[in-house]
Amino acid sequence: MPFSTATDYDVIAFDDKVKHTCNDVLSDCPPAMLQYFDNCVHSLLRDVVAGHRGWANNSCESVNDVIKQYTQWRQQQLPDLINKLQDLVRSQYTEADRSLCGRGDLQLLPAYAKHRVTVDAWK
């Protein structure tokens, strides 16, 4: 069967895998868990995994490259790595805060521009 777009194929492939998983793995689960999966988890996963057009594998690779540059491509002891990852996350929050005030390298999308505030209001 031909597919019209890559997204159609992704959604169809995802639904097929979920069907097999439900038949093979979830068939032994309690009914309440199966109902929770059907009502909540399945649709969320489908949106993120199969139908989300704003996510690409390059996003993962980009973050991976940032981490490697930040650690200077060296192995880290776990506590040091955790501290460095916390620093990176803090800097992302700082950049997000700056974008809310119209400052920094990032900008709000036009649909979210109504959320912009002044620096004084943000403080």
The answer for residues whose C-beta is within 8 angstroms of residue 21's C-beta and 6 or more apart is: none
How do the domains of the chain map onto residue ranges? 6-50, 58-122
On whether the CB atoms of residues 27 and 68 are closer than 8 A, the answer is: no
CA 114 to chain centre: 24
pTM above 0.75, yes or no: no
Dist CA 38 CA 35 (whole Å): 5
Give the per-residue pLDDT at 49: 67
Query: pLDDT 10s per residue in the chain (123 long)?
Result: 343 444 445 677 778 888 888 888 888 888 888 888 888 888 777 766 665 555 566 777 888 888 999 999 999 999 999 999 999 999 989 998 898 898 888 888 888 888 899 888 887
On whether the CB atoms of residues 101 and 118 are closer than 8 A, the answer is: yes
Torsion-angle region of residue 106: left (phi > 0), alpha (psi -120 to 50) or beta? beta
